[in-house]
Structure formats: C-alpha cells, structure tokens
Chains A and B, each alone.
Chain A
C-alpha cells in the first residue's frame, strides 16, 4: 500500500510519489526494518525529485551505495520523503511539493532540509529514515521533531547516489527514535566505496564509552549566543547527566566559530552553483523545446525554485573574477582555521556538547521573507560540517509549549562510535526520545 494517499500523509505531507514498499535484496541484520528515504537519494526504479520540478519525470537508473547496502542487509524501503528543494533550506518550506508539517504542531515547520525524514519518525510512519546533512539538515529537523539524527564523519559513508549539493560538506545521515537503531544503520552503511573517492577504509565498531573517564568541552562561542532559555537549560541537564557519572566538564575556546556561518554561506553556494550546472535539459528527462542549446538551458533552469536560484547566483558571485579571493578563498582559509581549532580542542576533550538549535520549531512562513534569518537556523550545526566531524542531535526535553528540544554531541573525526555510545547511554536512562505527539 502506498503511503501517499493515507489520511496522515494528507495532513503532514511527508511522502512523495505513489510507491509500494521495496522488498530487501537478501536477509541480514536489518531484517524487518522499515526505512524511508529522503528524496535526494537514488533508488533504482523510483522517481527522484530532489524536491524540485526540474526533475519531473526522472526515474533513478541506479541505487545509491547506501541504498544497495541497506537492501542487502534485509531492510525494506517504504518510500521517498519530502525535503527542501535540492536540500537547500532549514524548514522544508522550499519544496516544490509543498511544506511538510511538524507532527508536534502542524502550524510549525519540521525543520530542514530533511524535514520529511524527521517527521516520518516522529509520526511513527517509519522506523528509520535517511537524510542528508550539509549544514545541519539532519540534526536541526531531528531537534525540531524530537527524534535522533546523526551526521557521520565526512567520508565515512558513501555519497554515490546522493544528489550533490556541496560536495565537500554533504553527508548521508540516519535518523530514528533511538541512537541504537541509528547505530545499526550506521554499521551497515559506513565504509569505503570505489564510487566515492572521498570515502576511506572504515569499519564501524560499536563501543561502550566509559563516561567516568569522559572529558566534555562546552564551546564558549556556541553557548554565548542568544537562545531560548528553556533550550539552554535542557542541554545543561544533558551536560549534568555526564558530569554526575564522573565526566569532567570545561569551557573550550573555538575563536573562529562565529565566522563559521559566513564561511558556510560562501562555500556552500559556490559549490552549489557548480553542482547544479548539470541540470541542463539534456540529461535528466525534463526538458523544454528550444531552438538552440543556450535557450534549452535557460528554459529548463527556470524550473528551479527561488532559494535554489538565490544560492546559485550567490555562488557565481563568490567565484567570479574580482571576488574569488575576497569571498571564496577567504572562506576556505577560515574553514581551515576552524578545522585546526577543533583539532586542538580535541587534544583536551573527547566531545563537545551544545544545543542543536537556538529556538524550537518556528511557525510556517515566519522566516521565509528574510533569507539571513533562515540561515541563522544553522548557527550551531555548521561547524561540524565545515570540519567534517561526527555529530548527533538527540531529544533532551520539551519547551513549556510542548515543542521538542534537541542537544548536540560532537566528536573528532572517526569517533562516530563515541558519539553514538554516549547518546545510547543517555537514552537508557531518559525517555524524551520515546514521547509521541498527541493527535
């Protein structure tokens, strides 16, 4: 049965396309697991929209590596879920197929760009989902929807079959209610892939991180920002949980972090303008009649939505003659500084903890008029993308108006199992992640 026409989907607008579940390719560790897939990940024989009209009629001719691995491990794929167009956005309001509603409050956004992937878990319509995280697009919606969302170390999971947004930042990330389920998926999807040159030899091993020896760092630059006091208090409780079990906690300094968002909003559009030049009306089915090639490009590419156009233009500006040094080169240097500062801090601490977002889920339409206001949603999450670090958002409480709060744990590269172990242990003694929306 297709999820598309169900009453709950009509209410929340999570699923795209009329699809029947895909049976697994063989038996394995994930037997019986129902997985929803963000519609920027390629599943052979299924449409792939990337939340855009420019891919109307396009059916993927191959499985992404992560999809093949999941199907070979026994998982059942139940459908494709909604996202901001080409994964650009923090609210899923930029989808050409309409916004997805937050199951906790349908007048609020589920976050983005993996809004469908987060909502599908919160609404109990899938056990696990795949999203993608380029600047926070798995963690922020996980936080807004009260579920667990993980961004692996860059290069730990293949990007083959993920629609490229910013190739130096994109990571496929699993989401579920529990870190335990996220970890099962991570153990299957991680690993070197000859089809993705940025992957490395990585065999995921689950561990039990000893909290009594844990050293926690609280980045001053992230805690100093203006944020909802209930969120600050909730993440403090997470910190105290570790402290009560013997962890040491100290403030740490990442002086270049306040520049992270600016660097991100130069690097991202620059890579986007290059990656989206492939949508030319020749390769991906959707096309417009034209008398010559250039006209074909213009007519086809007019199908992009506003945010996509905005970022392509911004990227072209940042890369063009006369601006390249002042914008893109500079942003890259700042990025390298951010990487270095994180490396130094991880000599002194094992993990960093901060809230995932500075506000709970905002109302539909609230941030649409002002792009810069929307970009602020990524403030706490982009650092981990720029530095390629593993990071998780897990539910750590609720606001007084019953909106989910998420907190973030970040570790050094390759320490994905540390992050997941800590989240698992927290979830063994709390139940925020088990709460469901009413009605």
Chain B
C-alpha cells in the first residue's frame, strides 16, 4: 500500500530540512519502503476506539510563574553560536532565498 515513489525521499527531506547526499538518497529510497512494509502489518489489526491514558499523572499543569532560574551571560555566551550585546544573532528569516 505504501506509495513510496522516487520523489518521496526528496519531499520528506525538504519537510525536515535535511540535506541528503546522492548515496543517502539512493539508500533511503530502498530502505524506507522496506521499513514501511514491515510496519504495514498494522493494517491487519482489528482496533476499537477506546481511549487509554498514556500517563498516570493527569492533572499536572503548574502555576504560570517564572521559576527564577535563568541563564547567566557566561552560559549564554557558551551556548549561542553568535552573540551581540547579550542577544543571539540569527540569519535573516526573510532572506533572498526564502523558498520555503
């Protein structure tokens, strides 16, 4: 049932922002349908529609308060690729090549 055609890997790679080498594209184009075949046996499952909670804890939103813990300037400097005036420098969101 899987409609995994050659362009599919390219389309997915664009969705998740991954550059793939030609070798990787070829490998994944072969492997992903195999994995999908393997998981396809789920199609044979008879399922009903009862909901089972996944967590024991059901009511655990805490108060919307600032906890007080923050990153120091030194920590920020160690974490950010580029810092200017204690602000993180990022590339332009809307740039010349903003083909999203």
Residues of chain A at the chain B interface (Cβ within 8 Å): 58-59, 61-62, 153-155, 168, 192, 194, 197-200, 256, 258-259, 262-263, 265-266, 273, 277, 281-287, 290-299, 301-302, 304, 306, 309-310, 312-314, 316-317, 320, 326-327, 330-331, 333-337, 339-340, 371-372, 375, 388, 413-414
Contacts and interface: CB of A to CB of B under 8 A. Distances in A.
A283 B34 CA distance: 35
Contacts of A375: 35, 38
B88 A282 contact: yes
Interface of B: 1, 8-9, 12-13, 15-20, 24, 27-28, 31-32, 34-36, 38-43, 45, 47-52, 54-57, 60-62, 69, 71, 75, 78-82, 88, 90-93, 95-100
Nearest to B55: A198
A302 B56 contact: no
Given A168-B54, A265-B35, A286 B97 contact: no
A266 B39 contact: yes
B49 A285 contact: no
Given A61-B78, A286-B81, A292-B97, A312 B38 contact: no
Contacts of A304: 18
A334 B42 contact: yes
B39 A155 contact: no
Given A262-B42, A292-B92, A294-B98, A200 B57 contact: yes
B42 A266 contact: yes
B79 to A, nearest CB: 6
B8 A317 contact: yes
A330 B42 contact: yes
A304 B28 CA distance: 14
14 contacts: A62-B69, A197-B62, A200-B57, A262-B41, A291-B91, A291-B97, A302-B19, A313-B13, A316-B12, A326-B1, A334-B42, A334-B45, A340-B50, A372-B34
Given A61-B75, A310-B31, A295 B18 contact: no
A308 to B, nearest CB: 9
Nearest to A291: B95
Contact of A283 (B1, B41, B51, B79): B79
A22 B60 CA distance: 33
Contacts of B34: 371-372
Given A281-B81, A312-B18, A340-B50, 9 more contacts: A266-B39, A291-B91, A292-B98, A320-B15, A326-B1, A335-B54, A371-B31, A375-B35, A388-B55
A309 B71 contact: no
Given A61-B78, A282-B88, A287-B81, A316 B16 contact: yes
A58 B79 contact: yes
Given A200-B57, A372-B35, A372-B38, A298 B50 contact: no
Given A293-B92, A293-B93, A293-B95, A330 B47 contact: yes
A114 to B, nearest CB: 23
Nearest to A333: B47
Nearest to A315: B16
Given A282-B88, A292-B91, A330-B45, A197 B17 contact: no
B32 A293 contact: no
Contacts of A293: 90-93, 95
A281 B79 CA distance: 11
B16 A273 contact: yes
A104 to B, nearest CB: 30
A414 to B, nearest CB: 7
Contacts of A282: 80-81, 88, 90
Contacts of A200: 55-57, 60
A277 B27 CA distance: 22
A317 B32 contact: yes
A294 B32 contact: no
Contacts of B39: 262-263, 265-266, 327, 331
